[in-house]
Structure 1
Amino acid sequence: MADRASLVLIGPSANIVRVARKLDVDLIIVDHTARDLTSLLRPLRDQFFLFDYRQYLPPELARFGQLLQATVHPSAVVSMTEQGLVCAAELSELLGTPGTPPTVVNAMRDKAAMRAVLAQSAPRLTVATASGDDRAAVGRLLGAHGSVIVKPPLGTASDGVRRVRSLDEFDRLDPGLRRGALVEAYAEGVEVSVESLSEEGKHAVVLIVEKRLGENFVEIGHVTPSPSLSEQQCDRVRQAVTDLLDALDYRDGPAHSELIVQGEEIVVVETHNRPGGDGIADLVSATTGLDWRLACLGWPLGRQPQPDEVRSEAAAIVFFTASPGVVTSLETAPPSMPEVAWDYWTVTPQIGDVVGPLLSSAHRLGSGRMIGSRQAVTMTFEQVLAAPAITTESP
């Protein structure tokens, strides 16, 4: 194995393992449970190591790094999952392989730390904050801004995110949501996700995706190109991402950044040193021809895929939701529209199932992805969001 490049994958999905095979390198799969990943190992090429990358002590990681160095001689370490990013960074540092320093990864993952950096280096991109443990500070923030967002600093998938308009409303939140929370001044506008790839401190924006939010800020749709932003606003978004990553001293690798645009003003929501989830990589592939997952895996090895043929000028993903209750009807097939092709349309519940409240991305009820002309995709995207695919009645 020492004669060939080898890539350590921290906590990959089965799909990521399949994509990584395209790099033609030996794969070193690391996970906290064996799951079904061992069935994907290629004889004489791939290995599996059991290690809990989510929680560990420094001596445990050091011993694991020594084991990897002695047995598989890693060329690079990558994680595409949020919980594996810090472990990948620390292993890269221990092994001396290309990667982002753990301090930078922590500043990107921790939204409170990111806000502190931006307040010093790029204040135009951030908002005022308070700690959820400081009730008086939350009250002052509410008094100054009228509305705040309460969120876990290390949260993902919109889990635990709430909008609060008064101190009484804040007090009524579950103590688990308040404790240790980051409280931010509420910023209104068009929310976008930005995929970018950095090399030696130069940041290239790969795609800008407009998102739509449902209850509790759960993402219910992604569409590109953005139907709401002008080209001038998109240019400002690209510059804002550059300024954000520069402020965080992020130099190499993929980034997924989320921003809110209101006129000429732009506020950063969060950023991560990984590609976006929710199938955004498939929107990249459809509209640019670039295998975004493969690009995000291959960058520390200096391997970037050549773009394939562009499939479409526009693409979108919709996620299905419903009011809490018993499912009474389903749209099991997508609407037929000219200049639109559906890659898939999957509704997960069945008639008679009970649907709970939409508290995080995990509570969505299926999805559909379409490609087509910009005008047709935008129109169909809005139509599907306005006409729910799932109908419920209160029990």
Structure 2
Amino acid sequence: MKDQPAVLVLGGGTRLPKALRAHGMYVVYGGTRDEFGPAHRDACDEALLLPDDTPGTWFRRAMLLHQEVPFQRVVTVRERFLTTAARIGDALGLVGNPLRTVLTLKDKALMRQHLDSRAETPSVRSRMVRSPDDLNDFIAQVGLPVVMKPRDGSGSEGVLILRDPADKVAAHRKVTRRPETFLVEEFLDGPEFSVESFTSHGAHRILAITEKFTGDNAVEIGHVVPARISADHHEELTAAVRAFLDEVGLTEGPAHTEIILTSRGPRVVESHNRPGGDGIVDLVRHARGIDVRDLLAAQIAGVSDGLPDDTAAAGAAATWFLTAAPGVVTRLTGWDEAARCPGVVEVSPDVRLGDTVAPLRGSSDRCGAVIAIGADPDEALDRAHHALSLVHVTTEPATTAEEEQEERR
């Protein structure tokens, strides 16, 4: 170990640890006991396992471990560890994105404040909601619809779109229960995309543009790579994302930036200094032959990543998510048939018999997914849709106790 540079990898699967070890790094994996499986044992040299993700505990333990195994880098591809990893790296004086950049990306209210102070970046009207009166005042100013979201959230969890005055009842309840937690923004109307990028020494390379499809409460129900857009729109989106990443000071690593193409031009919704979730990292890998975790490992090891300069896709990949009526699952069929369909490379069932399906309020309320590949985006989407059409979920109404549990979410 003495001759190997050590890296602390917080959370995630085995792809990144394996890639780091392939570059001769000494890998210490940090995570919870329930996510550390047999494959992780072969992917790392040491493991620090704690009961939960409490930031303060991880910070203290990592600082102690650093005295025994001096880290050259601290890295994560998991949302819940982004701030913790940045705080550890900052305290140890390690190379990485500035802590202020990570905090700005993590806190949507802070991000809006930062962008509002930059004349070069198109603004999105927004306001922190500390009381129902704050929400009412904002609606009176900009009109309906508006979007209310947790200032520190992901996966569309807790997002509310208020289209009608009656929608304010649920929003007022959330604000009263958790003041100074939510941000309200003007509604951005237009097609949604995410831009997957990788940054080296402050230069942002575009890996792919993902076309997004949403359902109730803006929950994402499908993606396809590459997006079906014109060359002009491609240039607009990539230019807007590069400008945004410059503004927030991202210097290295992956970014997943969600953006809406409005009639006034692109507007950034939010961004994260990590790879895209919802299987997007796999869509990029299937469509372009690039895995961002391999790029990150090469960057940390200080070797060339071999990434081509062009962004032309060799093919296409799509994922579509299964949704179902709320209630208790009483019948579930078709996953085996879906897996055998042409072009399908992965099926991911997320509910079993007896599970309770919640109303579609966030990514965790979906029931599974299919990933399919094709020669072009339309073929990949058609294959994913066809495969998922073979899966059937039957639910029965939940009991009062189950409904109350869901309502408290």
TM score, norm. by length of structure 2: 0.84
What is the CA distance between 1:323 and its match in structure 2? 1.8
Equivalent residue number for residue 117 of structure 1? 114
In the alignment, the residues of structure 1 paired with residue 347 and residue 297 of structure 2 have an alpha-carbon distance, to the nearest angstrom, of 28
Residues 260 and 388 (structure 1 numbering): CA distance in 2 closer, same or farther, change over 3 Å? farther
Secondary structure of the corresponding residue to residue 75 of structure 1: strand
Equivalent residue number for residue 290 of structure 1? 290
Equivalent residue number for residue 250 of structure 1? 250
Equivalent residue number for residue 86 of structure 1? 83
What is the CA distance between 1:250 and its match in structure 2? 1.3
Residues 336 and 198 (structure 1 numbering): CA distance in 2 closer, same or farther, change over 3 Å? same
In the alignment, the residues of structure 1 paired with residue 314 and residue 258 of structure 2 have an alpha-carbon distance, to the nearest angstrom, of 24
The unaligned stretches of length 5 or more in structure 1 are none
Secondary structure of the corresponding residue to residue 100 of structure 1: coil
Residues 84 and 195 (structure 1 numbering): CA distance in 2 closer, same or farther, change over 3 Å? same
Q: Deviations over 1:44-94 (max 9, x none)?
A: x71122457843449x836742x3332112121101111211121122122
What is the CA distance between 1:389 and its match in structure 2? 3.5
Verify the 8 A CA contact 2:192 2:261 in the aligned structure 1.
yes
Residues 34 and 345 (structure 1 numbering): CA distance in 2 closer, same or farther, change over 3 Å? closer
Verify the 8 A CA contact 1:274 1:296 in the aligned structure 2.
no
Verify the 8 A CA contact 1:275 1:296 in the aligned structure 2.
no
Equivalent residue number for residue 368 of structure 2? 366
Verify the 8 A CA contact 1:53 1:83 in the aligned structure 2.
no
Residues 352 and 26 (structure 1 numbering): CA distance in 2 closer, same or farther, change over 3 Å? closer
What is the CA distance between 1:22 and its match in structure 2? 3.5
Equivalent residue number for residue 317 of structure 1? 319
Equivalent residue number for residue 27 of structure 2? 27
Secondary structure of the corresponding residue to residue 222 of structure 2: strand
Secondary structure of the corresponding residue to residue 173 of structure 1: helix
Secondary structure of the corresponding residue to residue 3 of structure 1: coil
In the alignment, the residues of structure 1 paired with residue 209 and residue 3 of structure 2 have an alpha-carbon distance, to the nearest angstrom, of 39
In the alignment, the residues of structure 2 paired with residue 343 and residue 34 of structure 1 have an alpha-carbon distance, to the nearest angstrom, of 27
- Residue pairs, 1:210-359, within 5 angstroms: 210-227=211-228, 229-263=229-263, 265-306=265-306, 312-325=314-327, 326=329, 330-332=333-335, 333-334=337-338, 341-349=343-351, 355-359=357-361
Equivalent residue number for residue 193 of structure 2? 192
Secondary structure of the corresponding residue to residue 270 of structure 1: strand
Verify the 8 A CA contact 1:348 1:365 in the aligned structure 2.
yes
Verify the 8 A CA contact 2:214 2:222 in the aligned structure 1.
yes
The one-letter code of the counterpart of 1:291 is D
What is the CA distance between 1:130 and its match in structure 2? 1.8
Residues 166 and 141 (structure 1 numbering): CA distance in 2 closer, same or farther, change over 3 Å? farther
Equivalent residue number for residue 390 of structure 1? 392
In the alignment, the residues of structure 2 paired with residue 329 and residue 359 of structure 1 have an alpha-carbon distance, to the nearest angstrom, of 22
Verify the 8 A CA contact 1:290 1:306 in the aligned structure 2.
no
Verify the 8 A CA contact 1:195 1:205 in the aligned structure 2.
yes
Verify the 8 A CA contact 1:193 1:259 in the aligned structure 2.
yes
% identity of equivalent residues: 29
Residues 386 and 278 (structure 1 numbering): CA distance in 2 closer, same or farther, change over 3 Å? closer
Residues 177 and 360 (structure 1 numbering): CA distance in 2 closer, same or farther, change over 3 Å? farther
In the alignment, the residues of structure 1 paired with residue 303 and residue 90 of structure 2 have an alpha-carbon distance, to the nearest angstrom, of 20
Equivalent residue number for residue 68 of structure 1? 65
The one-letter code of the counterpart of 1:222 is H
The one-letter code of the counterpart of 1:255 is A
The one-letter code of the counterpart of 2:210 is V
In the alignment, the residues of structure 1 paired with residue 383 and residue 261 of structure 2 have an alpha-carbon distance, to the nearest angstrom, of 20
How many residues are aligned here? 388
What is the CA distance between 1:328 and its match in structure 2? 5.1
Verify the 8 A CA contact 2:344 2:383 in the aligned structure 1.
no
In the alignment, the residues of structure 2 paired with residue 359 and residue 382 of structure 1 have an alpha-carbon distance, to the nearest angstrom, of 23
Residues 69 and 247 (structure 1 numbering): CA distance in 2 closer, same or farther, change over 3 Å? same
Secondary structure of the corresponding residue to residue 278 of structure 2: coil
What is the CA distance between 1:123 and its match in structure 2? 6.3
Equivalent residue number for residue 93 of structure 2? 96
What is the CA distance between 1:307 and its match in structure 2? 5.7
Equivalent residue number for residue 139 of structure 2? 142
What is the CA distance between 1:335 and its match in structure 2? 9.2
Q: Deviations over 1:321-372 (max 9, x none)?
A: 11224555643323988xx511023444457765332222112111111111
Verify the 8 A CA contact 2:259 2:269 in the aligned structure 1.
yes
Secondary structure of the corresponding residue to residue 317 of structure 1: strand
The one-letter code of the counterpart of 1:186 is F
What is the CA distance between 1:246 and its match in structure 2? 1.0
In the alignment, the residues of structure 2 paired with residue 168 and residue 106 of structure 1 have an alpha-carbon distance, to the nearest angstrom, of 34
In the alignment, the residues of structure 1 paired with residue 353 and residue 61 of structure 2 have an alpha-carbon distance, to the nearest angstrom, of 52
In the alignment, the residues of structure 2 paired with residue 335 and residue 52 of structure 1 have an alpha-carbon distance, to the nearest angstrom, of 35
Residues 287 and 375 (structure 1 numbering): CA distance in 2 closer, same or farther, change over 3 Å? closer
In the alignment, the residues of structure 1 paired with residue 78 and residue 154 of structure 2 have an alpha-carbon distance, to the nearest angstrom, of 11
The one-letter code of the counterpart of 1:377 is E
What is the CA distance between 1:97 and its match in structure 2? 2.1
Residues 317 and 379 (structure 1 numbering): CA distance in 2 closer, same or farther, change over 3 Å? closer
TM score, norm. by length of structure 1: 0.87
In the alignment, the residues of structure 2 paired with residue 116 and residue 18 of structure 1 have an alpha-carbon distance, to the nearest angstrom, of 39
Residues 313 and 141 (structure 1 numbering): CA distance in 2 closer, same or farther, change over 3 Å? same
Q: Is 1:155 aligned to residue 153 of structure 2?
A: yes
The one-letter code of the counterpart of 2:185 is E
In the alignment, the residues of structure 2 paired with residue 199 and residue 206 of structure 1 have an alpha-carbon distance, to the nearest angstrom, of 13
Secondary structure of the corresponding residue to residue 287 of structure 2: helix
Verify the 8 A CA contact 2:132 2:175 in the aligned structure 1.
no
Q: Is 1:3 aligned to residue 3 of structure 2?
A: yes
